[in-house]
C-alpha cells in the first residue's frame, strides 16, 4: 500500500461523524449461537405455606391424619389413663422401644406401649417382632402396640400368638367411642392442643419449622437448631 493510499484512508476516517462507532463484524459462528440460544426459564411461581388442617368436631379417622406423632402419643397416653391406669412417657430422645409405661394397682408389673403414627404405611410383622424383643428384655409377657395406620395379616397373627394387644386406627376409634362424651371431648382437645400439625423433632423434643427449598420453592419441615447445631433433619411438608 502506497503512502498516497494511506493518506486518503486516514482522511476518510478523520472525516467520519464524531460519536458514531463502526458496527462490529458478526461472524457466522456468533449468528448460529444466537439462533440456537435457549430462552431464560421463567421464575417458578411462589408456593404457599401449607395451612394447618381444620380440627374435627368429633372423633373420626381424619383426626389421626391431622395430628403429628407426639400428639398421637399424647392421645394414647390419655386414652389408657382414662381406664384407671397410671401412664408415664418421655417427651423425646431414645425410648428403648417403649413410648408409654402403664401401671395398674392390680399388678406389680407395668404394661408397655409402643406407638406408631403412620398414615399410609402398614405395620408389618418386623415391627411386632422387634416389640416382642423389647417385652422380653423387660421380662414382660404382655404389651400393647398402637398405630394410627393398620397391621398386616401376619403381624396380627404374630400379635395374637405372643400376647400383644394390637390396636390399629379402627381399634383405637372403637375404644374412644366407648368413653363418655366428656372423655371423648377431652381426648379431642388433647389431639388438637398447641401446634398439633407441626412435627416434633424426636431428638430434642421441639417443634420443627417451615423451610423453603431454593430449587423448586417447595416447603419442608426443618430443625430450628440448624444454625446452631447444623442439624439437617428435614421432612416434606404436605398440604
Using alpha carbons, select from 186, 138, 139, 132 the residue that is nearest to residue 163: 132
Provide the pLDDT for residue 6: 43
Asked if residue 172 lies in contact with residue 76, where contact means CB atoms within 8 angstroms, the answer is: yes
Start-to-end CA distance of the chain, whole Å, equals 79
State how beta strands 100-103 and 86-89 pair: antiparallel
Angle of helix 125-137 versus helix 153-161 axis, rounded to 10: 20
State how beta strands 234-236 and 219-222 pair: antiparallel
CA–CA dist 73, 94 (Å, integer): 15
H helices of the chain, where? 3-14, 28-35, 61-66, 69-81, 125-137, 153-161, 169-177, 181-191, 226-229
Q: Which three cell numbers stand for residue 83?
A: 381406664
CA–CA dist 235, 226 (Å, integer): 14
CA–CA dist 49, 220 (Å, integer): 10
CA–CA dist 235, 239 (Å, integer): 13
Domain boundaries, the chain: 61-191, 199-239
Has this prediction a pTM greater than 0.95? no
Q: Please identify which residue in the block is written with the cell numbers 424426636.
A: 202
- At the second CATH level, the architecture of 199-239 is Single Sheet (2.20)
Tens place of pLDDT per residue across the chain (239 aa): 544 544 455 555 545 455 555 555 555 555 555 555 555 555 555 555 668 899 999 999 999 999 999 999 999 999 999 999 999 986 554 557 899 999 998 889 999 999 999 998 999 999 999 999 999 999 999 999 999 999 999 999 999 999 999 999 999 999 999 999 999 999 999 999 999 998 887 766 677 666 666 666 566 666 666 655 555 554 444 53
Provide the pLDDT for residue 46: 55
Provide the pLDDT for residue 207: 73
Provide the pLDDT for residue 235: 47
Provide the pLDDT for residue 89: 86
What's the CATH number of domain 61-191, 3.40.47.10, 3.40.1350.10, 3.40.720.10, 3.30.360.10? 3.40.1350.10
CA–CA dist 134, 113 (Å, integer): 10
Amino acid at each position: 500500500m502506497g503512502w498516497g493510499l494511506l493518506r486518503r484512508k486516514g482522511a476518510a476516517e478523520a472525516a467520519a461523524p464524531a460519536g458514531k462507532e463502526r458496527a462490529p463484524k458478526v461472524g457466522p459462528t456468533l449468528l448460529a449461537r444466537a439462533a440456537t440460544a435457549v430462552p431464560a426459564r421463567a421464575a417458578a411461581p411462589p408456593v404457599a405455606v401449607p395451612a394447618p388442617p381444620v380440627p374435627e368436631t368429633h372423633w373420626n379417622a381424619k383426626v389421626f391424619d391431622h395430628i403429628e406423632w407426639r400428639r398421637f402419643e399424647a392421645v394414647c397416653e390419655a386414652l389408657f389413663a382414662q381406664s384407671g391406669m397410671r401412664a408415664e412417657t418421655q417427651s423425646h430422645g431414645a425410648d428403648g422401644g417403649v413410648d408409654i409405661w402403664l401401671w395398674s394397682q392390680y399388678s406389680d408389673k407395668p404394661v408397655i406401649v409402643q406407638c406408631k403414627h403412620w398414615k399410609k404405611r402398614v405395620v408389618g410383622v418386623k415391627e411386632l417382632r422387634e416389640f416382642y424383643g423389647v417385652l422380653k428384655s423387660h421380662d414382660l409377657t404382655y404389651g400393647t402396640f398402637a398405630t394410627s395406620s393398620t397391621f398386616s395379616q401376619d403381624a396380627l397373627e404374630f400379635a395374637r400368638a405372643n400376647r400383644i394387644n394390637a390396636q390399629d386406627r379402627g381399634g383405637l376409634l372403637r375404644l374412644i367411642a366407648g368413653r363418655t362424651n366428656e372423655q371423648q371431648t377431652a381426648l379431642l382437645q388433647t389431639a388438637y392442643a398447641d401446634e398439633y400439625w407441626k412435627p416434633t423433632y424426636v431428638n430434642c423434643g421441639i417443634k420443627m419449622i417451615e423451610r423453603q427449598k431454593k430449587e423448586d420453592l417447595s416447603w419442608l419441615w426443618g430443625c430450628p437448631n440448624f444454625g446452631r447445631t447444623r442439624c439437617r433433619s428435614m421432612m416434606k411438608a404436605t398440604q
